[in-house]
A and B are shown apart, each in its own frame.
Chain A
Amino acid sequence: MMDALSYLFASWLQPELLALTAVGTAAGIYIGAIPGLSVTMAVSILISFTFGWEVNHALALMNGIFMGGVYGGSRTAILLNIPGAPAAIATALDGYPMARKGEAGNAIGLSTVMSFFGGFVGIIVLAAGAPVVSEFAILFQPRDYMLLAVMGILLVGSLSGESLAKGIFAGALGMLLGTVGLDPMTAEQRFTFGSVELMNGISAVALMIGLFGVSEALLQLHNLHLAAVKQKVDKIIPSFSDLKKYLPLSLQTSAIGVIIGALPGTGGDIAALMAYDHAKRVTKDPEVPFGQGAKEGLVAPESANNAAVGGAYIPMLTLGIPGDAVTAVIIGALFIHGLNPGPLLLIEKPDMFWFTVGNLTLANIFLLIFGLTGIRIFTKIIECPKGVLFPLILLLSVVGAYSINNSLSDVWWMLGFGVLGYFMKLYGYQVGPVVLGIILSRLMDDNWRRAIISEQESLPAFFYGMITSPLSAVLFLAIVLILLSQTPVWKAIKMHASPRLGRG
Chain B
Amino acid sequence: MLGKLMGAVAALALFVGSASAADYPEQDIQGIIQWGAGGSTDLVMRSVAPHAEKVLGRSIVMINKTGGVGAIATQFVASQPSDGYTLLMSAENPQLYKVMGLSNLDYADFYPVNVLARGVPVLVANNDAPFNTIKELVEYVQANPGKVKMGSTGPGGLPSVVGGMLSTQLDFKVTAVPFDGDGPALTAMQGGAVDFMPAVLGAAAEHVKAGRIKILGVFDLEASPVLPDAKPIVADYPEFKKLLPWGPFFGVFVKRDTPDEIKAKLVEAFKTGAEAPEFQKLLDDRGYVSLNISGDEADAFLKKWQSTTAWVVYDAGIAKKSPEEFGIAKP
Contacts and interface: CB of A to CB of B under 8 A. Distances in A.
Contacts of B217: none
Contacts of B193: 141-142, 450, 454
A325 interface: yes
Contacts of A196: 68, 71-72, 75, 103
B175 interface: yes
B243 interface: no
Contacts of A330: 38
A181 B50 CA distance: 34
B72 A454 contact: no
Interface stretch (A26-34, A149-157, A205-213, A341-349): A341-349
A187 B63 contact: no
B285 A140 contact: no
Given A41-B37, A336-B47, 10 more contacts: A44-B64, A141-B192, A187-B154, A200-B66, A332-B39, A332-B46, A340-B206, A342-B205, A342-B207, A343-B212
Interface stretch (A71-79, A109-117, A315-323, A371-379): A315-323
Contact of A48 (B49, B102, B147, B188): B49
Interface string B253-282: 000000000000000000000000010011
22 contacts: A43-B37, A44-B38, A44-B64, A47-B46, A48-B62, A141-B188, A141-B192, A142-B177, A142-B188, A184-B180, A187-B154, A196-B75, A196-B103, A199-B67, A199-B68, A322-B183, A329-B38, A332-B42, A342-B210, A407-B65, A450-B177, A456-B175
B155 to A, nearest CB: 5
Contacts of A325: 37-38
Nearest to A344: B210
B142 interface: no
A145 B112 CA distance: 41
B183 A321 contact: yes
Nearest to B204: A342
B178 A450 contact: yes
B187 interface: yes
Nearest to A200: B67
A194 B208 CA distance: 42
Contact of A406 (B65, B184, B186, B194): B65
A265 interface: yes
Interface residues of A, number: 53
A182 B153 CA distance: 13
Nearest to B189: A138
B285 A338 contact: yes
Contact of B68 (A185, A200, A338, A454): A200
B242 interface: no
A230 to B, nearest CB: 43
Interface in B107-157: 146-147, 149, 154-156
B165 interface: no
A48 B206 contact: no
A344 B208 CA distance: 10
B43 A335 contact: yes
Interface in B13-52: 37-39, 42-43, 46-47, 49-50
Contacts of B175: 453-454, 456
A150 B42 CA distance: 33
B72 A199 contact: yes
A186 interface: yes
B69 interface: yes
A319 B206 CA distance: 9
A405 B190 CA distance: 33
- Sort A-B residue pairs by CB-CB distance and give the 5 closest, nearest first: A200-B67, A342-B206, A199-B68, A343-B210, A44-B37
A351 interface: no
B207 A48 contact: no
B191 interface: yes
Contacts of A181: 67-68
Contact of B184 (A44, A200, A264, A453): A264
B230 interface: no
Contacts of B188: 141-142
B154 A184 contact: yes
Given A187-B154, A405-B65, A335 B190 contact: no
Interface string B196-224: 00000000011101101000000000000
B98 interface: no
Interface of B: 37-39, 42-43, 46-47, 49-50, 62-69, 71-72, 75, 100, 102-103, 146-147, 149, 154-156, 175-180, 183-184, 186-188, 190-194, 205-207, 209-210, 212, 278, 281-282, 285-286
A463 interface: no
A197 interface: yes
A33 to B, nearest CB: 20
Interface string A126-140: 000000000000111
Nearest to B191: A138
A52 B276 CA distance: 13
A338 B281 contact: yes
Contacts of A321: 183, 186-187
Contact of B67 (A185, A201, A453): A201
A42 B238 CA distance: 48
A11 to B, nearest CB: 23
A187 to B, nearest CB: 5
A141 B187 CA distance: 10
Given A138-B191, A320-B206, A336-B43, A199 B177 contact: no
Contacts of A490: none
A340 B285 contact: yes
Given A186-B155, A196-B71, A200-B66, A140 B180 contact: no
Contact of B178 (A184, A322, A340): A184
A187 B180 CA distance: 12
Nearest to B179: A450
B191 A139 contact: yes
A331 B184 contact: no
A248 B281 CA distance: 50
Nearest to B33: A44
Contacts of B176: 453
A184 B177 CA distance: 11
B193 to A, nearest CB: 5
Contacts of A186: 154-155, 178
B43 A187 contact: no
Contacts of B187: 138, 264, 315, 319, 321
B183 to A, nearest CB: 7
Given A47-B46, A328-B183, A338-B282, A182 B68 contact: yes
Nearest to B63: A406
Contacts of A406: 63, 65
A346 to B, nearest CB: 9
A456 B154 contact: no
Nearest to A446: B180
Contacts of B286: 335
Residue of A44, A331, A338, A407 ringed by the most chain B CB atoms within 10 A: A44
A341 to B, nearest CB: 7
B66 to A, nearest CB: 7
